[in-house]
Structure 1
Amino acid sequence: MPDWHIEFGVKVHHVDPKDFNHGDTRNLGVDLAKGEFVQMTTQDATAVDELWLEKMVSHFDDPEVVGVCGQQVALEKKERNPLQWFRPQSEAKPIKYQFKNTEDFTQLSGKEQHSYCNWDDVNAMYRKSAKLKLPFKKLMFSEDTLWAKDALTAGHAIVYDYRARVDHYHHQDFDFYFKRSYIILYQNYKFYNYINYPRNPIKWSLEIVVRLLRMGELGFGEKIKWMSYNFNLVRASRKAAKIFSRNAKKGIESVEASQKKYVGFPPQGVQAKSK
C-alpha cells in the first residue's frame, strides 16, 4: 500500500476477508472514526467536485438529521457504457424525509417504504453519535437501504442531496449483471415484500438501439459494440428474473437457497480499461 496515508494522518485498519460483511465492517469503521461525522464511500469512487463533503455536512445543522446520502454517477468517458453517462437535465435539490408519527411510515406497503430508502453507502455521511445507536445490520448486502428504513422507523430525519456526487463505474459482464439483478430481486422480496421484475426485454432492447443510434458522438462501430454489451445485460437480467420467479413461487425458503446457489458472495465490479 502507498504510504500517502501517513502524510495525511490516516489510519488503515485491515479486515480479514473471512470476517468481512458490509454491515459489521462499516460498523467497525464508525467505531474507529474520531470525528463528529462519518463518510462512507468505496475505494473506486472519486469526488466530482471540491464541494462534495461540504454539501453533505451542511445538512447536519439540523439536529434531527442523522444521515445524508449523495449520488453516484458515471462521468462521460470513452471506455464506459455510454448509456450510463451522466447527463443531468436539471439541477438536483435536496430532499428531507422524516415521519414524526412513525406509524405513517410503518403502515406503508413494503414497496412504498422502499421508495424512501434508496440509500447508498458508496456516498453517504452519518452523524456518528446517532450512528452508534443505530448500527448497520450484519449483512453481506443491503445494509444501507435497511439502515435508512430503521432510521425512518425510529422517527429520525434523513436527507438525499444529489448535488453531492461521486464518480463510480463498474464494467459489467454477464455474470456480474446476473448476480446484481438477482440480489436486487432478492432484496426487494425479502426486506420489502414485493417483486419488481425488470422491464420487457424486447422494449428494453429497442430502447438500447434507439438511444445509441441517436448518439452522434459515437462512431458506427462503437454503437454496434455497445449494443452488444447492453444486449448482454438484458439477457443476464432476464435469466435472473426467470430463475427468481420460479423460486419465489415456492416461498422464502426456496428463495434463500437460490440466492446462496446463484449469488453467494456479492459480485465485485471491475473498472473499464482506458484506451
Structure 2
Amino acid sequence: MEQAKVSVIIPTLNAGTMIGPLLTRLEQQHRVPDEIIVVDSSSDDDTVAEVRRHPNVHLTVIDRKDFNHGGTRDRALRASTGDYVLFLTQDALPKDDGYIERILQPFEDGRVALVYGRQLPREDANAAERLIRGYTYGPNSSVITQRDVHRLGINAFRASDVCAAYRRTAYLEVGGFENPVLTNEDMFIAARFLHADWKIVYEASAEVIHSHNFTFRQQYKRNYIQGVEIEKHRDILGNAPLTGEGLAMTTYTIGHLLKQGRLIAAGRFIIDCGFRYVGNRKGKFDAKREARRHA
C-alpha cells in the first residue's frame, strides 16, 4: 500500500469559493496524493485561477455541454496514474488531514473495490438535512458483499462519489462508469462490483463536510433525474425496491423533528418529501415511456 500511487479527481463548475480550501486540505494530508486532477466545465467565475495557484495540480478544462457524471469521471480516471483513484466533489471538504489515510485503509483487503466515506453536515445545514446525513452516514463502518444484496436491497449499492476511492484494477475489470449517465454512476458501478464478487466498504472514519439545503424545485429536479437513471438501470440493480428505504428515512427524520419540537421544519420536510416522490415517479414514468417508444 505504501508503494501504491494515489490520484484524486475533482470535477468543478463555478467552484471559486470552495476549490482553494479543498486543494489546500488535500496538499496537507498525511498521505499526500501523487496527483490531483481538476476537470473544470468551463467555469465563468475564478475557479480556473484558483486552481492555477496550486502548481502541482493538473487542470483540464472541458466544454460545459460535454460533462456527464459517468463519462467525465471515467475519462479522468483512465488518464490518471493512481493504483487507487479518489473522487471528491467540489463542495466536499475532508474534515482533517487523515482523510486519505483512512479511506485507503480498507484496501488492505485485496477484494475491496470501492470505499466511500462519511458525510457530515455543514454548519448551515437545516435541521432535516442534519438528521438525513446522520441517518444515511452513521458512525459505524461496514463491509458489503454479494451475499448482502438480498438482505439489504437497494442499500447494498449505496455509495457516493462525493467522497469515494476506487481500486483501479477492479474498476477496469467491470468496465468503468456508465457513459453517458446523468447521476448515480456510483450506485451502478457498486452494483456491478458486487455482482462480480468484489467488496464495498463504508469507512465511517474517513469524513468530509458536505450537505445541501435544496429548494423544493431543486429536490424535484434531482429526484426526477434519479428516477430516469434508476429506471434505465433496473437490470443492473436487480429490480431492488427503493420505496422502503425512502419511507424509513422519512419516518426517522419526521419523528426526530417532532421530538425536537421543530413543527415548522417537520412540515417543510413533509412537503420536501412530496417533491422528491413526485420527481422520482415522473422520472421513472418518462423513462418507461421512452423505452416503449424505442422498443
Partner secondary structure for residue 56 of structure 1: helix
Q: What is the CA–CA distance in structure 2 between the aligned matches of 1:203 and 1:10, rounded to whole Å? A: 44
Task: Give yes or no for the alignment of 1:44 onto 2:91.
Answer: yes
Counterpart of 1:27 (choices 54, 74, 87) is 74
Aligned residue number for residue 268 of structure 1:
none
Residues 235, 163 of structure 1: alpha-carbon distance in 2 compared, 3 angstrom cutoff = same
Q: Following TM superposition, by how much is the alpha carbon of 1:180 offset from its aligned partner in structure 2, in angstroms?
A: 2.4
Asked if 1:137 corresponds to 2:178, the answer is: yes
Q: 1:153 aligns with which of 195, 214, 217?
A: 195
* 1:33 Cα offset (Å): 1.6
Q: Relative to 1, partners in 2 of residues 1:29 and 1:238: Cα closer, same or farther, differing over 3 Å?
A: closer
Look up the SS of the partner of 1:40 in the other structure.
strand
What is the alpha-carbon distance in structure 1 between the residues aligned to residue 144 and residue 266 of structure 2?
39
The residue aligned with 1:128 is 168
C-alpha deviation, 1:144, in angstroms: 0.6
Q: Deviations over 1:199-238 (max 9, x none)?
A: 49x9799647614526xxxxxxxx75x4564354134235
Q: Point out 4+ residue stretches in structure 1 off by more than 6 angstroms.
A: 202-206
Equivalent residue for 2:113, pick from 66, 73, 87: 66
Query: Structure 1 residue 156: deviation in Å?
Result: 1.5
How far residue 6 of structure 1 moved from its aligned partner, in angstroms, is 5.2
Matched to 2:128, the amino acid is L
CA distance in 1, matches of 2:115, 2:242: 27
How far has the Cα of 1:119 moved from its partner? 1.1
Secondary structure of the corresponding residue to residue 2 of structure 1? helix
Of residues 156, 159, 162, the one that matches 1:116 is 156
CA contact (8 A) 1:59 1:68 kept: yes
Q: 1:141 to 1:11 in 2, by over 3 A?
A: same
Deviation at 1:49, TM superposition (A): 2.0
**CA RMSD of superposed structures (Å):** 3.6
Going from structure 1 to structure 2, the CA distance change for 1:241 and 1:117 (only over 3 Å counts) comes to closer
What's the offset of the Cα at 1:195? Answer: 4.9
Structure 1 unaligned spans of 5+: 215-222, 258-275
Written as runs of structure 1 = structure 2, the 5 A alignment for 1:169-208 is 169-190=211-232, 191=234, 192=237, 193=239, 194-196=241-243, 199=247, 207=255
Q: Residue 118 of structure 2 contacts residue 138 of structure 2 at CA under 8 Å; is this kept in 1?
A: no
Q: Measure how far apart 1:14 and its partner are.
A: 1.5
Give the letter aligned to residue 139 of structure 2. A
Higher relative contact order (CA 8 A, sep 6+): 1
CA–CA distance in 2 between the matches of 1:42 and 1:239?
27
Shift of 1:254: 5.7
| 2:95/2:207 contact within 8 Å kept | yes
Q: Mean Cα displacement is larger for which, 191-200 or 117-126?
A: 191-200
Aligned residue in 2 for 1:82: 127
**Shift in CA distance, 181/34, structure 1 to aligned 2, threshold 3 Å:** same
- How many Å apart are 1:196 and its aligned residue? 1.4
Give the superposition deviation at 1:17: 1.8
In structure 1, give the amino acid aligned to 2:210: H
Could you say which structure has the larger radius of gyration? 1
* Corresponding residue SS for 2:243: coil
Q: Residue type matched to 1:30 in 2?
A: L
Q: Normalising to structure 2: TM-score of the pair?
A: 0.66
Q: Alpha carbons of 1:49 and 1:70: their partners in 2 closer, same or farther (altered >3 Å)?
A: same
Q: Secondary structure at 2:60's aligned position in 1?
A: coil
1:210 paired with 2:258, answer yes
Q: Are 2:90 and 1:54 aligned?
A: no
SS in 2 for 1:116: helix
* Contact 1:37-1:126 at 8 Å conserved across structures: yes
Q: Please name the residue that 2:43 is paired with.
A: none
Paired residue for 1:236? 275
CA distance in 2, matches of 1:5, 1:28: 21
Gaps of 5+ in 2: 1-47
Report the CA distance shift for 1:256/1:179 in structure 2 as closer, same or farther (over 3 A).
farther
> Partners of 1:48 and 1:242 in 2: how far apart?
35
| % identical aligned pairs | 23
